[in-house]
Amino acid sequence: MYRIKKQDFSKIIDELIKTGNRIISYSNNGNDFKRINSSNELSINSNFKPSKLSLKEIVFPKTEPLFYYKRTNDNVELKDIKFDSEKTIIIGAKPCDAKAFSTISKVFNWDYKDNFFNSKYENTIIIGLKCDYKDEYCFCNEVGLSQSSKEGSDIFIELDGDDYFIYILSEKGKNLLQPFMSYLIEEIKESKVDDIDNIIDLNKVRTWITDNFDNNFWYSISQECLGCGKCAFICPTCHCFDIVDENYTYFEGRRMKNWDACQFGKFTLHASGHNPRDIQAKRYRQRIAHKFKYYFDKFDELLCTGCGRCSRECPVSINIFDVIKEINAK
């Protein structure tokens, strides 16, 4: 653990910008994040509420080409994508957002190693920030995290007056700060463990989901759901994608990987016209079950970091935590 002066931290950032790194910081009261060109644009604020969109698009963009192709009368020529080697450094990620990176990296590195994800993830350094924000939608403490969880972060910052406390948590983090160690003052600080007051028994929730696949409950909690993909697209852990080919000139085209959402009616629509998830209740069940059961069954992790974005932004105010609470109460 180290202490660093805020202005020294800024110097490091400017240096990193100069050496060609992509620095991502928050703006607009934490609603957005963007690439910055100077440390003056930095805003490190532990009271920001989670940004409207999550940080996942840094490693999993809303749309990206997989390859390009060119057709001739009797042949098809493919061109692969060259990956960008630029480093991306995210500054001030909330614990719930930082954790999401490591969560989804599991699915992208399960049997198939997804280079489109990995090439970006490997070049991304996440500097987490202790969070002091909590509203009625936050529930990170219920999914095994806390406001000071460091999971997923390469470096973690805590604010302390004019200084930052810095935790170096990974090789990536270490390598990044290596040239700047002179700014850092080593300090031992008693790390305080957050009081976590859980009300949800996740085992019980999983069991109930397993046993109640066809329960009318799914209909009753999703009746107002409009079937948009907003919750999935702003979620830091939702990672479904669709693959489409785009023909853009007479002979040429490309294959695209785009965000997709299980709440869309078309998501499971078969070519035959049959749709196994034909009503919204089944789609909503999938959302809950994937996050709290299927992903856990497979990867021993929840596909939810409790950021509360989906509830905060839902057009019809469906609160995912309320749903979990209801299941828990059964």
Partner 1 sequence: MKIGVFVCHCGENIGKTVDCPRAAQESAKIPGVVISVDNKYTCSDPGQNMIKNAIKEYNLDGVVVASCSPHMHEKTFRKAVASVGMNPYMCEIANIREQCSWVHDDVEEATKKAIDLIRIAVEKVKRNFALTPIKVPVTKRALVIGGGISGIQSALDIANAGYEVVLVEKEPSIGGHMSQLSETFPTLDCSQCILTPRMVEVYQHPKIKLLTYSEVEKVEGFIGNFKVTIKKKPRYVDETKCTGCGLCTQKCPIKKAPNEFEQGMIKRTAIYVPFPQAVPNIPVIDNTVCTYFRTGKCQMCVKVCGKEAIDFNQKERFVVEEVGAIIVATGYSLYKIDKKPKDSPIKGYGEYGYGIYPDVIDGLQFERLASASGPTAGEIKRPSDKKEPKKVVFIQCVGSRDESKGFSYCSKICCMYTAKHAMLYKHKVHDGEAYVFYMDIRSGGKMYEEFVRRAIEEDDVKYIRGRVSRIYEDGGKYIVKGEDTIAGIPVEIDADMVVLATAIVAQNDSKKLAQTIGIPYDKYGFLNEVHPKLRPVESSTAGVYLAGACQAPRDIPESVAMASAAASKALVLFGSDMLEREPTIAKVNESTCAGCFYCQKVCAYNAIEKKEIKDRNGNFVKYVAYVNPGLCQGCGTCNATCPSKSVELIGYTDEQIFAEINALATL
Partner 2 sequence: METNINFEPKIIAFVCNWCTYTGADLAGTSRLKYAHNVRIIKLPCTGRIDPLFIIKAFEKGADGVLVSGCHPGDCHYTSGNFHARRRWILFNQLLNFAGIDNRRVHFSWVSASEGRKWVDVINEVIETVRKARPFVGYSKMNKEYVYNE
Partner 3 sequence: MNNLYNIAKDLFSTNKVDLIIGYKSIDSRRTKPIFVSSNEDVDHLVFNEYSLNNLSVYLTRKDIKKYNKIGILAKGCDIRAIVQLINENQIEREKILIISKKCNGVVKDFGLEYNEENIAEKCKSCKVRTPKVFDLMIDSEEEKKLPEPTISSRVNELDSMTPEERFEFWRNEFSKCIRCYACRQACPLCYCERCIVDKNIPDWIESSPTQRANFSWNLIRAFHLSGRCIGCGECERVCPVDIPLSLLNAKMGIVAFKEFNYATGMEIGEPTLVGNYSNEDNEDFIK
Residues in contact with partner 3 by the rule CB under 8 A: 52-53, 62-63, 136, 223-224, 226-230, 232-234, 242, 244, 246, 256, 258-259, 261, 264, 266, 279, 313, 315-319
Read off the amino acid at residue 1: M
Determine, following the binding rule CB under 8 A, whether residue 272 of this chain makes contact with partner 1: no
Of the candidate residues 249, 271, 274, 276, the single one contacting partner 2 (CB under 8 A) = 249
> Can you count the helices (H) and strands (E) in the chain?
11, 12
* CA-based end-to-end distance of the chain: 44
CB of 243 to partner 2, least distance (A): 17
User: Out of 248, 271, 272, 300, which residue is the one contacting partner 1 (CB under 8 A)?
Assistant: 248
- Based on the shown chain and the rule CB under 8 A, indicate whether residue 247 belongs to the binding site for partner 1: yes
b/e 167-188 (16+ beta carbons within 10 angstroms → b):
bbbeebbeebbeebeebbeeee
Burial pattern 44-66, b for ≥16 Cβ within 10 A else e, equals bebebbbbebbbbbbbbeeebee
165 near partner 2, rule: CB under 8 A: no
75: which residues sit within 8 A by CB, 6+ positions away? none
Q: How far apart are CA 151 and CA 2, in angstroms?
A: 18
Query: Smaller CB distance to partner 2: residue 83 or 213?
Result: 83
Asked whether the beta carbons of 166 and 155 are under 8 A apart, the reply is: yes
Q: Nearer to partner 1 by C-beta: 86 or 246?
A: 246
User: In this complex, which beta carbon is closest to partner 1, that of residue 72 or of residue 203?
Assistant: 72
Q: Binder to partner 2 among 27, 68, 212, 326 (CB under 8 A)?
A: 68
As measured in angstroms, the least distance from the Cβ of 274 to partner 1 is 11
Please, what is the angle between helix 95-108 and helix 115-122, to 10°?
A: 140
251 binds partner 1 (CB under 8 A): yes
Identified binder of partner 2 from the candidate list 82, 113, 192, 270, rule CB under 8 A: 82
1 binds, among partner 1, partner 2, partner 3, none (CB under 5 to 8 A by kind): none
- Alpha helices (runs of H) in 223-328, residue ranges in sequence order: 230-234, 280-289, 295-299, 309-313, 320-328
- Of 74 and 186, nearer to partner 1 (C-beta) is 74
- CA 165, 234, 87, 32 torsion: positive or negative? negative
Report how far residue 46's alpha carbon sits from residue 51's, in angstroms, rounded to the nearest whole number. Answer: 12
Among residues 82 and 274, whose Cβ is nearest to partner 2? 82
For the chain, the residue count is 330
Could you say which DSSP state residue 29 is in? Answer: G
Quick one: which segment of 146-154, 177-185, 243-251, 259-267 binds partner 2 (CB under 8 A)? 243-251
Using CB under 8 A as the binding criterion, the count of chain residues that bind partner 2 stands at 7
- Minimum Å distance from CB 231 to partner 1? 25
Task: Give the contacts of 184 (CB within 8 A, at least 6 positions apart).
Answer: 2, 3, 4, 166, 177
* Residue 62 binding target from partner 3, partner 2, partner 1, none, CB below 5 to 8 Å by type: partner 3
Beta-bridge partner residues of 5: 163
Told to check if 270 binds partner 2 by CB under 8 A, we report no
What is the closest distance, in whole angstroms, from the C-beta atom of residue 218 to partner 2 in the complex?
A: 38
Q: Which of residues 62-81 bind partner 1 (CB under 8 A)?
A: 71-73
- Closest separation in Å from C-beta 82 to partner 1: 19
* d(C-alpha 248, C-alpha 286), whole Å: 35
List of residues contacting partner 1 (CB under 8 A): 71-73, 247-251, 273
List of residues contacting partner 2 (CB under 8 A): 68, 79, 82, 246, 248-249, 254
